[in-house]
């Protein structure tokens, strides 16, 4: 998807502060961090949002979640925890239409969200 920001990060056309990359996933720091730790993990393949997942994506999503956890630990969130968030479509507050999980940590976060 030429017009997708995150596809352009995957290809390298748009720079990002990468934390991790393999054949299926990329993780990078959020450009507008909302907490001392704020990064995103995305599948390289363009999946619009969580509503678009198919049964064949189960292993990919498992890897996505596990990588989010591993990187949260690496960035110092093991003891106090973190928030793992997937926004979906307009009511969910999704602004980039390429599936991603946010990991936010390093400070206490309020609940419920506004
Ligand atoms: P969401 O609102 O859940 O779709 O989250 C999209 C996130 O992507 C926001 O937190 C943005 O700050 C972040 N974002 C948008 N463009 C970039 C970029 N070029 N590099 C890193 N993060 C970005």
For ligand 1, say whether the CB of 47 is within 6 Å of any of its atoms: no
Q: Read off the pLDDT of residues 13-30 as tens digits, 9 standing for 90 and up.
A: 999 999 999 999 999 999
Ligand 1 pocket test, pick from 19, 40, 113 with the greatest ligand atom count within 8 Å of Cβ, gives: 40
The domain total for the chain is 1
- Own/partner long-range contacts of 23-28 (Cβ < 8 Å, ≥24 apart): 24/60, 24/63, 25/63, 25/64, 25/67, 27/67, 27/68, 27/71
Q: Does a structural domain hold residue 111?
A: no
**CATH number, domain containing residue 25:** 3.30.428.10
For ligand 1, say whether the CB of 14 is within 6 Å of any of its atoms: yes
Q: Does a structural domain hold residue 75?
A: yes
Under 8 Å CB-to-CB from 1, ≥6 apart: which residues?
A: 7, 46, 98
Q: Does a structural domain hold residue 112?
A: no
Q: Does a structural domain hold residue 114?
A: no
Q: Does a structural domain hold residue 53?
A: yes
Domain span at 58? 5-105
Q: Does a structural domain hold residue 110?
A: no
Q: Does a structural domain hold residue 36?
A: yes
Q: How far is the CA of 5 from the centre of ligand 1 (A)?
A: 9
| Short-list 90, 78, 82, CA closest to 107 | 82
Q: Read off the pLDDT of residues 63-105 as tens digits, 9 standing for 90 and up.
A: 999 999 999 999 999 999 999 999 999 999 999 999 999 999 9
- Total length of the chain: 114
């Amino acid at each position: 998807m030429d017009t997708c920001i995150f596809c352009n990060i995957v290809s390298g056309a748009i720079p990002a502060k990468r934390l991790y990359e393999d054949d299926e996933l990329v993780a990078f720091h959020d450009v507008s961090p909302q907490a001392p730790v704020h990064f995103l993990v995305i599948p390289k393949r363009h999946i619009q949002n969580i509503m678009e997942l198919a049964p064949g994506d189960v292993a990919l999503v498992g890897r996505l979640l596990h990588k989010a956890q591993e990187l949260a630990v690496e960035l110092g969130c093991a003891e106090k925890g973190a928030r793992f968030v997937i926004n979906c479509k307009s009511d969910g507050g999704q602004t980039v239409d390429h599936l991603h999980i946010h990991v936010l940590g390093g400070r206490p976060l309020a609940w419920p969200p506004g």
